[in-house]
Amino acid sequence: MKRLLASVAFAGLVAQPLAAQDTETEGAEAQAATEKQLPSAYGYEPQDDLEKGLWYQMDEAERRLKESRFLIEDPELNEYVRSVTCKTVGEARCQATRIYLVRTPVFNASMAPNGVMLVYSGLLLRMRDEAQLAAVLAHEFTHFEKQHSLRLFRNWRSKTDLLSWLSVIPVRVPYAVGMATQVAVLGNMFSFNREMEREADAGSIEELVEAGYDPRAASAIWSQLGAEMDATAEERGHRSDKNRNGGLFATHPRSTDRMGRLAQMAREAMGEQAEERYRGAAEYRAALASWWPELIEDQIALKDFGGTEYLLATLAGDDPMGWTGDLLYARAELYRARAEEGDFAQAAEFYRQAIATGEAPAESWRGLGLALMRDGFKPEGQAALRSYLELEPDAPDAALLASMAGEVQS
């Protein structure tokens, strides 16, 4: 039903080209149009009743968002994302945005017409370096500065009854998202049209080059996302989502087409200079370091075996030495949770490798014990559980584990 509504509205948008819409607006407000201010400019105010109404709704939503338990409030991480934004679009323009980090294991980011930028933790988990994060931020910033969502709203408004667009905001989340309603107004994934996405892609390449980032980061994101979607689909036995609408930015151009075009734009922007551009992989890892274990845990909880297995390999950097204790532990948890033929033995192996790194979480012993017990090695499993309890005597399930390990209960 929703999809139908969205596509009807979209069809309307195509049938009435934006150029026509713009002319109409300019006719009415010729004066305003000539000295049109960008929304990223200092002191920008909404220009007419519709935009004022929209801002009012968005500001209300932002007020509610501030109370959300899903916000990541860590000042250091917030400051890092803000600094990357400012470095990418420049100090002056980045003043127009207020960034909120949202704890949701979905690959997404969005920017509302009033300058609220939402960055999902699932996106932070998937970026491999600062340049990739900058590419996403620049992409969203371009949508914002070019007022794409405002243009869509104007169009919707002319097609539907009064404020009914508020109740049919084109949310197209392919997953159930716990906090979706809290950001429905702010974080709606607008179905931007093909032209708008091209504009935003081109904008992101420009900003990246301007800021000194490697513009190839933008296409790398799409190849990673496509491969992850393939991996998810293969394991679950459905068609890959990579060429559907949905996923990051719920875009119109198909991901694979887009990847190629972004790569080409990056080549053109860099010219013949093949020198190394800044990617900031180490900086990015450092900034996210304290959050990774939790973000990986959120991802594992989604029970997307194929996609998560791919993602962990990506995070390890396709390098055997890149498998840290945390990543090995996460991989072991993934296999133990899937619980298919051979998975417990495989999980036990990964737990042992994790423990061997000397920097694995103590829960590796817990997982090892439980995997061994499920695999029929009860005494060995009980021994591993006892090792865990020595390390974490106050674990939430210590009492149960102690009884399973054959210890006498107090």
Q: Tell me if 377 contacts another protein by CB under 8 A.
A: no
Q: Tell me if 119 contacts another protein by CB under 8 A.
A: no
Residue among 86 and 185 whose Cβ is closer to another protein:
185
Binding segment for another protein among 47-55, 84-92, 354-362, 369-377 (CB under 8 A)?
A: 369-377
And the tokens for 96? 């127009």
End-to-end C-alpha distance for the chain, whole angstroms = 58
Q: Measured in whole angstroms, how far is the alpha carbon of residue 253 from the centre of its chain?
A: 18
CB of 182 to another protein, least distance (A): 6
Residue among 176 and 321 whose Cβ is closer to another protein:
176
Query: Would you say 346 and 375 are in contact if contact means Cβ atoms under 8 Å apart?
Result: no
Q: How far apart are CA 259 and CA 88, in angstroms?
A: 21
Q: How far apart are CA 140 and CA 138, in angstroms?
A: 5
Residue in 118, 135, 373, 384 binding another protein, rule: CB under 8 A: 373
And the tokens for 33? 């149009």
CB of 143 to another protein, least distance (A): 22
Per the rule left: phi > 0, alpha: psi between -120 and 50, beta: everything else, 212 is left
Residue in 59, 298, 380, 392 binding another protein, rule: CB under 8 A: 298
User: Residue 250 half-sphere exposure, CB side, CA atoms within 13 Å?
Assistant: 18
CB of 5 to another protein, least distance (A): 9
Decide the pairing of beta strands 109-111 and 116-120. antiparallel
Binding mask 172-211 for another protein (x = CB under 8 A): -xxxxxxxxxx-x---------------------------
Q: How far apart are CA 132 and CA 145, in angstroms?
A: 20
Binding mask 7-46 for another protein (x = CB under 8 A): ----------------------------------------
Residue in 302, 316, 345, 383 binding another protein, rule: CB under 8 A: 302
Q: Tell me if 101 contacts another protein by CB under 8 A.
A: no
Q: How far apart are CA 25 and CA 150, in angstroms?
A: 13
Q: Tell me if 303 contacts another protein by CB under 8 A.
A: yes
Residue in 37, 68, 256, 290 binding another protein, rule: CB under 8 A: 68
Residue in 73, 75, 396, 408 binding another protein, rule: CB under 8 A: 396
Q: How far apart are CA 22 and CA 24, in angstroms?
A: 5
Residue among 129 and 343 whose Cβ is closer to another protein:
343
Q: Tell me if 404 contacts another protein by CB under 8 A.
A: yes
CB of 14 to another protein, least distance (A): 22
Residue in 27, 43, 75, 237 binding another protein, rule: CB under 8 A: 237
CA distances to 4, 24, 49, 159, 367 from 20, rounded to whole Å, are: 24, 6, 20, 15, 62
Residue in 238, 319, 321, 408 binding another protein, rule: CB under 8 A: 238
Residue in 2, 36, 66, 194 binding another protein, rule: CB under 8 A: 2
Binding mask 317-356 for another protein (x = CB under 8 A): --------------------x-x-----------------
Alpha-carbon dihedral angle through residues 192, 197, 199, 204, given to the nearest 10 degrees: 120
DSSP string, 59-94: HHHHHHHTT-TTB---HHHHHHHHHHHHHHH-HHHH
280 Cβ neighbours under 8 A, 6+ residues apart: 129, 130, 131, 213
Residue among 144 and 335 whose Cβ is closer to another protein:
335
Residue among 181 and 290 whose Cβ is closer to another protein:
181
Residue among 103 and 146 whose Cβ is closer to another protein:
103
Q: How far apart are CA 116 and CA 129, in angstroms?
A: 23
Strand order in the sheet with 98-102: 98-102, 116-120, 109-111
Binding site for another protein (CB under 8 A): 1-3, 67-70, 103-106, 171, 173-182, 184, 236-238, 298, 301-303, 337, 339, 370, 373-374, 396-397, 399-401, 403-404, 409
